[in-house]
């Protein structure tokens, strides 16, 4: 691919515009809310994981989809779009550290031990995961979920008298279970990093099995950040993402996915105050879009991996396409894609 030359931001913006015009209807750009402002401005659609999955599955016309987020999300677009379409990502090595906390060998080992207890489990994998784990869920009657529909997925599984085996984000699983009235005593935490096999007698009677994994961005928010915001701004509303630790969720006024946070702040009355516990790029944009409200980050904390997708790398993908070099293209093993699609479609069907 083209090198990322030291192109000024101004020139980059101009060239993005020109390349987009030349690609016309052949191109669709999908971007996550946590992306850089110049990428967001150029995108045809901006959303959270669930919205991007829905959009990718409906995007049947364009020849090329350029997907700006961490790379597992671009895999999701590859899985859901049409076979003749091509998906590109500006920085394939921009992976999600949370997604790396569950690997297929460890999940299969856990599955074997859990199912040997005789109880019925259904795997539920958070969208922040590799394609082979989504495929694992597809093969084993399970679901993909996002932070916007984790509860629906868990309720669906429990409605079938089965136990959700939820990975890799412990906090999302725990917060979702709490919201459903399930206590910590009713949850079993799988420790993937321990050498010895766990004592599985503890699984008996549990309603949910969680996996020890976390998002380093969202666990950075602490109860002291909430205390500080309330001390400084009095009647401020605190709204956080469910990947935050349970204590932070408990002390907050609202909890929900990125799209929920966005719509809640949008719908709020002018003059209201909001402290937001999620990725900084998104919070800064929300602040810029709502000058009639006080919008502040609970803490200035960004995702380094999302930030590796720069406007210059994005430009390089577009100019490669204009010049007939289709790269860097996102590929997924066909068998993994087939079964991952099953798990993603199950998610879309219950959403």
Sites of contact with ligand SF4 (CB under 6 A) = 70, 96-98, 128, 215-217, 279, 303, 305-306
| Distance in angstroms (rounded) separating the CA atoms of residues 7 and 272 | 40
Its sign, for the CA torsion 194, 196, 197, 200, is: negative
* Closer Cβ to ligand SF4, 261 or 306, answer by number: 306
Q: Six-digit token pair at 200?
A: 């599985």
Min dist CB 133 to ligand SF4, Å, is 14
Min dist CB 309 to ligand SF4, Å, is 11
* Closer Cβ to ligand SF4, 86 or 241, answer by number: 241
Its sign, for the CA torsion 205, 105, 334, 28, is: positive
Min dist CB 64 to ligand SF4, Å, is 23
Min dist CB 302 to ligand SF4, Å, is 8
Q: Six-digit token pair at 277?
A: 């516990």
Min dist CB 49 to ligand SF4, Å, is 9
* Closer Cβ to ligand SF4, 43 or 96, answer by number: 96
Q: Six-digit token pair at 224?
A: 């002291």
Its sign, for the CA torsion 124, 133, 137, 84, is: positive
* Closer Cβ to ligand SF4, 49 or 59, answer by number: 49
* Closer Cβ to ligand SF4, 279 or 319, answer by number: 279
Specify the DSSP class assigned to residue 7. Answer: -
Min dist CB 164 to ligand SF4, Å, is 19
* Closer Cβ to ligand SF4, 91 or 305, answer by number: 305
Phi and psi angles of residue 166, each rounded to the nearest 5 degrees, phi first: -105, 125
Cα angle 293, 297, 300; round to 5: 150
Distances in Å between the Cα of 23 and the Cα atoms of 31, 51, 201, 225, 327 are 17, 24, 59, 45, 15
């Amino acid at each position: 691919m083209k090198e990322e030359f030291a192109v000024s931001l101004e020139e980059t913006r101009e060239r993005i515009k020109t390349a987009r015009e030349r690609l016309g209807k052949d191109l669709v750009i999908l971007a996550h809310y946590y992306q850089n402002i110049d990428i967001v401005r150029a995108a045809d659609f901006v959303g959270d994981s669930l919205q991007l999955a829905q959009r990718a599955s409906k995007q049947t016309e364009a020849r090329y989809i350029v997907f700006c987020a961490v790379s597992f999300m671009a895999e999701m677009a590859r899985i859901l779009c049409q076979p003749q379409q091509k998906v590109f990502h500006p920085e394939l090595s921009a992976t999600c550290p949370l997604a790396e906390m569950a690997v297929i060998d460890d999940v299969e080992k856990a599955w074997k031990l859990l199912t040997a207890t005789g109880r019925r489990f259904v795997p539920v994998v958070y969208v922040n995961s590799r394609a082979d784990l989504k495929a694992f869920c597809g093969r084993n009657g399970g679901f993909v979920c996002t932070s916007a529909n984790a509860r629906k997925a868990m309720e669906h599984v429990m409605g079938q008298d089965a136990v959700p085996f939820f990975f890799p984000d412990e906090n999302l699983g725990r917060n979702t279970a709490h919201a459903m009235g399930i206590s910590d005593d009713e949850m079993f935490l799988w420790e993937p990093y321990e050498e010895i096999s766990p004592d599985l007698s503890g699984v008996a009677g549990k309603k949910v099995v969680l996996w020890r994994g976390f998002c380093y961005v969202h666990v950075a928010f602490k109860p002291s950040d909430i205390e500080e915001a309330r001390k400084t701004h009095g009647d401020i509303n605190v709204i956080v993402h469910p990947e935050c630790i349970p204590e932070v969720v408990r002390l907050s006024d609202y909890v929900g996915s990125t799209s929920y946070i966005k719509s809640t702040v949008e719908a709020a009355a002018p003059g209201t105050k909001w402290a937001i516990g999620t990725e900084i790029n998104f919070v800064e944009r929300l602040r810029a879009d709502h000058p009639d409200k006080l919008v502040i980050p609970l803490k200035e904390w960004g995702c380094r991996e999302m930030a590796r997708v720069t406007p210059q790398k994005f430009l390089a993908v577009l100019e490669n396409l204009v010049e007939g070099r289709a790269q860097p293209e996102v590929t997924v093993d066909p068998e993994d894609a087939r079964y991952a699609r099953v798990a993603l479609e199950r998610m879309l069907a219950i959403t």
